[in-house]
Amino acid sequence: MLTNIIELLQQQVTPIVLQSEIEHLLEKKHALDNFYPILLSLLKQKPDYITELQNHLNPRLSDIFTTHQSLKEKFIEAIGSTAPPSEIEETLNNAIAPTLGVLETQAGSNNQQAIEHFLLNHSTDIAVALPLWAKPLLAALGVNTLVGETLHQSPSNASYIGSKKQNRWWVPVLFIIVLGVICALLFKMCSRDEQPNSVVENTNIASKPAKFQLTTGQDGMLVTCQIFTSNKSYIDILQTEVKQIFTHPVGCGADDNSQFHQTLIDQEAIPSVLKMIKGTPNVSMTWMGDQLSIQAKSNAVATELAQKIQPLVKNMQIVKQQPLDVNQAVGSSVSSAEKALASLNPEHVRALDVATALNLQIINFEPYSSEIPEINQSILDQAAALIRRAPQVNLVIEGHTDNVGTAQDNKELSVKRAQAVMDYLIKKGVDPAKLQAVGMGAEKPIADNNTPEGQFKNRRIEFTVLNTETGKARQVNEQGVSTGSY
């Protein structure tokens, strides 16, 4: 395990920030290498910045240079060398949140005092890595890198206090001027330093983009919500926003697996977007990568939302998904299942044929419910009568869910739903020895869980058959009726 905090940030944060970049990679990596000790020096001696940056959904350089915007521009120009300043600024912006995440992990807490203590213990590593040209910059921000004290602290020389106190207004101005000169001279020397041997190595630290999903019900209030990001602090912040905006006591489910990126594009706009969505019935939103997918009750409503949201998410593309008519989809599937069951010969029925017909229907359970909808009960009645005529074959009932919620909750719900179907068939006279219920949770999706349609398709009951003579299970699809027998 690395003990040098600068090296740790270079290995854990840099790949996350740069993995989607394709231009000016060396300059951006060099900028990040210089930025880490500068940021840590500031946090170490001005720990109030720790809490302030943690409380921002998307902390940025502007939050550090609050009253020194001209100084920020000089800093970006100096640290970015020949790369476009706007790209360097965005790169550094994207590094702040994951840097805080690493500090919280290493300190064992997101508490300001714990992080400050950790930084003090690593003062030597930070000081060694700090670029020479950055010292006037930190001094202009009130950090004295020579003695480890902030400039607002009282000097020890009493005569200096008496004679120069009224003239101290020029100190920040002087440091800005000095910074400009040093940047012009010394950074050229820095840029001639040995370049890294290779571009940032690809790692598996974060292989999937962060994602935020949300749906509203008939009343326009929160129904489901899910956050996928490895940034635990951001999860807490976004949870608070969701609970406050929708007056929802639970908020979102969350997955903080390290495979997810720590930030979402334009994530600072999420609270404003949620306020626009609140009160609009039956909206589904997926925020992932540079795409924001919106589905509403009608295309007109989705278009109106998209037009309002677009100015807030300038770096994202809004995609309007056509609404899925659930009732029509379910009704059509039930009709197909009825026709398939009616076509079977009761005197020569096979479990494979019954399972194939049953798989044509959609059993659309209510959210978090295992109660079988009434529209599906007549299908199960019809199937039970036929299953009783199929000797020596067991029917396996598989429950599947989408990926909304935790893996454990999805597994338990899928078991309950499969068991509910099994219990219904037993009640209709099917021998319990012929049936087996299993729950697969979200392990075997058949569609993209990033869309409402895909989630709808993944919430399903599937029937497979197990031949008791051969012991082999057989998956069933729409070709099952016409395939060969066991």
Please give the Cα distance from 148 to 44 (Å, whole number): 9
- Residue 144: strand pairing partners: 149
From first CA to last CA, the distance across the chain in angstroms is 56
Angle CA 255–259–265, to nearest 5:
80
Residue 485 has pLDDT above 50, yes or no: no
Token representation of residue 333: 């599937």
Task: Please report the pLDDT score of residue 238 as a whole number.
Answer: 92
Contact yes or no for 262/229 (Cβ under 8 A): yes
Please give the Cα distance from 42 to 138 (Å, whole number): 7
* pLDDT tens-place string over residues 217-270: 888 998 888 899 988 889 989 999 999 999 988 888 888 888 888 899 999 999
Name the burial class of residue 306, with classes exposed (0-12), middle (13-18) and buried (19+) by CB atoms within 10 angstroms of its CB.
middle
Query: How confident is residue 363, by pLDDT bands cut at 50, 70 and 90?
Result: very high
- Sign, CA dihedral 369-371-377-382, equals positive
Mean pLDDT on 440-451: 84
DSSP sequence for 74-96? HHHHHHHTTS-HHHHHHHHHHHH
Which of 82, 92, 32, 83 has its CA nearest to residue 60? 92
Q: How many CB atoms lie within 10 A of CB 167?
A: 8
Which of 34, 58, 63, 33 has its CA nearest to residue 46? 63
* pLDDT tens-place string over residues 20-58: 677 788 888 888 999 999 999 999 988 998 998 888 878
Residue 385 has pLDDT above 50, yes or no: yes
Q: pTM of whole model > 0.75?
A: no
Task: Please report the pLDDT score of residue 275 as a whole number.
Answer: 94
* pLDDT tens-place string over residues 136-185: 878 877 776 554 444 444 344 433 334 433 444 444 555 565 555 455 54
* pLDDT tens-place string over residues 53-83: 888 878 888 888 877 777 888 888 888 767 8
Query: How confident is residue 413, by pLDDT bands cut at 50, 70 and 90?
Result: very high
* Among 169-173, 411-415, 479-483, the least confident range: 479-483
Contact yes or no for 96/35 (Cβ under 8 A): no
Give the SS3 label for residue 287. strand
Give the SS3 label for residue 460. strand
- Residue 285: strand pairing partners: 214, 294
State which H helix or E strand residue 174 sits in: helix 170-191
Domains in the chain, start-ordered, CATH in brackets? Answer: 5-191 (no CATH), 211-320 (3.40.1520.20), 326-482 (3.30.1330.60)
Higher local confidence (pLDDT), 10 or 155: 10
Please give the Cα distance from 486 to 353 (Å, whole number): 12
Please give the Cα distance from 449 to 428 (Å, whole number): 34
- Sign, CA dihedral 458-463-465-466, equals positive
* Percent of the chain clearing pLDDT 70 (strictly above): 81
Token representation of residue 157: 């020389």
